[in-house]
Amino acid sequence: MTTLPVPLRGEVALRGLHKSFALEGRSIPILTNFDLTIRGGESLAIVGASGAGKTTLLRILAGLETADTGDILIDGEPAGGLGSACAVIFQEPRLLPWLTVLRNVAFGLEARGTAPATARERAGRYLRLVGLAGFEEAYPRQLSGGMAQRVGIARALTTQPEILLLDEPFGALDAMTKLAMQEELVRIWREENVTMVTVTHDLEEAVFLADRVLVLSRNRTQAPRLIDVSLPRPRERTSSAFVALRQELMAEFGLH
Amino acid sequence: MTYEALPRDFSGLLKPRADRPLILLRPLAILRRLAMRFGALAAFLALWQTASTLGWVSPAILPGIDKVAAALWTGLFEGTLAGDMAISLQRAGLAFLAAVGLGIPLGLLMGQLEPIERALDPILQLFRQTSALALYPIFILLFGLGEMSKVFVIFWATVFPILLATIGGVKEVDPKLVEMARSYGANQLTVFRRVILPASIPAIFVGLRLAATTALLLLIAAEMIGARSGLGFQVMNAEYNFQIPLMFAAIVLLALLGLAANALLLGLQRRLCRWNERIV
């Protein structure tokens, strides 16, 4: 398959977002007059130096933090955050150690008030999707890092979000596992027809996952750059077009 | 599709070691395990018996284990020891339950609400540092020499370990887990019920087990000072009347009571925290 999935759902627009943090009495601006449109069904990666505001942006989208000013519009309608339309996948799996894998996956739905029986039935389906059938009754401490992160992904998918927000999802995994998980994520994204926003500091990961890459600069007078990644899928990490795009991204950070 | 290597046989991964039946071990191995576990205890009992029989310590002061066992038997079935144990259990049990009933809910509240904790902390620290035994005379003046003052002094000493352990447990809950639950739209009550409470249980049990030990300690002290029944009273009374085997029998019962309380709490904790491999 080389065609992109048809975007089923609407777009998310950020308009004139401002966010600053107070540090030792001073106000540190993180985002100033920030605009972005996330297209339905796309995979967007956000890269940038640390302190450039990538994680803050993701947390505002998730509703875990609020912008000082500015609007979030879903299909043109103002919204405080994405709410139940989104699910967050954190760098750490953040599983509840006292729940079995199946019950961890069901937790996201149950937290929203879905009946446990229904939640667990759906959880079982998504556990199979991430390749962890047979691990339903295992406890988190018995899982490897990659397996635990799969459980976290299944938990997010079980809530059937329109947008998956991923905050350096594979940053804590070893190199081999990371590559496998990236391929897995692209497969899931295509199968589930979900919009995906991934914050990462790994430029190769950004090129592999994304349709578009947003480059945030720590210099806030410089407008964020959006780079189109029009490579066919499945993507070859060693193809010349892939390497060229990665180099273009590195040049954004003054690296060669 | 690329997967990281998953183990083919999941059963070994999922089955805790403790579940393996003992019968599969060879008799020699069982013997060695028993020796490792109870060897020191057996040696202690043997030393006790020898010291008494050979007269290293006067048998009048240190009666042999056989004499103590006999005194325990007659004390339980013909004497007052069974009744003493019942009344002691009632005192310590009532106080412990009251301490649990106050300590855990208050601790859960204080652990979550910073202003309440800050407002109550100074007075709690003052109360905690004031020995319950030093306050016993006051409790006697307030509640009389009956059951109430004894239960209250034990309650006073046991509520603090439970309260402080609960507060600590709640404050130690990983904020990342709380944030995760919130990101799924969990409300305050759901976060409390599904994240904060289960995460605090191991810490609460540390407090409960500490409190159980304290309860027995205070029970004995209170019964030695102002009681006419109970195991603590019996230890003192038997000594006055120079019924040394009976005294030892009461002490043995107290030790067994402590072991039983600890085993009960440990069993409960294992049931509630099956996910946690390391409970000692």
**A111·B186 Cβ contact <8 A:** yes
In a domain, B278, yes or no: no
Is the pLDDT at B176 greater than 60? The verdict is: yes
Least confident of A66-70, B4-8, B182-186: B4-8
* Contact list, B183 vs chain A (CB under 8 Å): 62-64, 87-88
Q: Is the CB of residue A109 less than 8 Å from the CB of residue A158?
A: yes
Q: Nearest-CA distance from A49 to chain B in Å?
A: 23
Residue B168 is predicted with a pLDDT of 95
Average pLDDT value over all residues in chain A: 89
Task: For residues B145 and B127, state if they share a domain.
Answer: yes
Residue B180 is predicted with a pLDDT of 96
Assembly ipTM: 0.89
The closest of A35, A95, A33, A87 to A62, measured between CA atoms, is A87
Q: Nearest-CA distance from A241 to chain B in Å?
A: 23
Residue B261 is predicted with a pLDDT of 94
Better-predicted residue by pLDDT, B160 or A49: B160
Q: What is the dihedral of CA A210, A147, A136, A88, to 10 degrees?
A: -40
Task: For residues B134 and B27, state if they share a domain.
Answer: no
Residues 6+ apart with CB under 8 A from A119: A106, A107, A109, A110, A158
Task: For residues B113 and B33, state if they share a domain.
Answer: no
Residue B6 is predicted with a pLDDT of 45
In a domain, B3, yes or no: no
Average pLDDT value over all residues in chain B: 88
DSSP for B203-247 reads HHHHHHHHHHHHHHHHHHHHHHHH-SSSHHHHHHHHHHTT-HHHH
Residue in B1, B2, B184 closest to A108 by CB: B184
Is the pLDDT at B10 greater than 50? The verdict is: no
Tens-digit pLDDT profile for residues B193-236: 999 999 999 999 999 999 999 999 999 999 998 889 999 999 99
Mean pLDDT confidence for B130-142: 91
Task: For residues B118 and B53, state if they share a domain.
Answer: no
**B176·A90 Cβ contact <8 A:** yes
**A98·B198 Cβ contact <8 A:** yes
Pick the CATH number of A1-82+163-256 from 3.40.50.300, 3.90.1150.10, 3.60.9.10, 1.10.3720.10: 3.40.50.300
**B25 band by pLDDT with thresholds 50, 70 and 90:** low
Is the pLDDT at B17 greater than 60? The verdict is: no
In a domain, B279, yes or no: no
In a domain, B280, yes or no: no
Q: For residue A140, what is the DSSP state? A: G
Percent of chain A with pLDDT over 90: 67
Task: For residues B123 and B253, state if they share a domain.
Answer: yes
In a domain, B2, yes or no: no
Residue B160 is predicted with a pLDDT of 95
Least confident of A19-33, B21-35, B140-154, B212-226: B21-35
**B13 band by pLDDT with thresholds 50, 70 and 90:** very low
Which backbone phi and psi does A166 adopt, to 5 degrees?
Answer: -120, 125
**A146·B4 Cβ contact <8 A:** yes
* A vs B: CB pairs below 8 A: 76
Residue B279 is predicted with a pLDDT of 53
Per-residue H/E/C for B39-66: HHHHHHHHHHHHHHHCCCCCCCCCCCHH
Residues carrying CATH 3.40.50.300, chain A = 1-82+163-256
Task: For residues B187 and B142, state if they share a domain.
Answer: yes
Is the pLDDT at B21 greater than 70? The verdict is: no
Residue A3 is predicted with a pLDDT of 40
Tens-digit pLDDT profile for residues A188-218: 999 988 999 999 999 999 999 999 999 998 7
Mean pLDDT confidence for B105-109: 96
Q: Nearest-CA distance from A72 to chain B in Å?
A: 17
Task: For residues B36 and B131, state if they share a domain.
Answer: no
Cα separation values, B273 from A129, B26, B181, B198, Å: 29, 31, 20, 9
Task: For residues B131 and B159, state if they share a domain.
Answer: yes
Q: Nearest-CA distance from A16 to chain B in Å?
A: 24
Residue A95 is predicted with a pLDDT of 97
Task: For residues B114 and B49, state if they share a domain.
Answer: no
Q: What pairs with residue A48 in β-bridges?
A: A216
Domain that holds residue B153: 72-272
Domain count, chain B: 2
**A97 band by pLDDT with thresholds 50, 70 and 90:** very high
Task: For residues B124 and B260, state if they share a domain.
Answer: yes
* Contact list, B182 vs chain A (CB under 8 Å): 64
Task: For residues B83 and B57, state if they share a domain.
Answer: no
- List the CATH number of the domain containing B92: 1.10.3720.10
Task: For residues B127 and B209, state if they share a domain.
Answer: yes
Tens-digit pLDDT profile for residues A132-180: 999 999 999 999 999 999 999 999 999 999 899 999 999 888 999 999 9
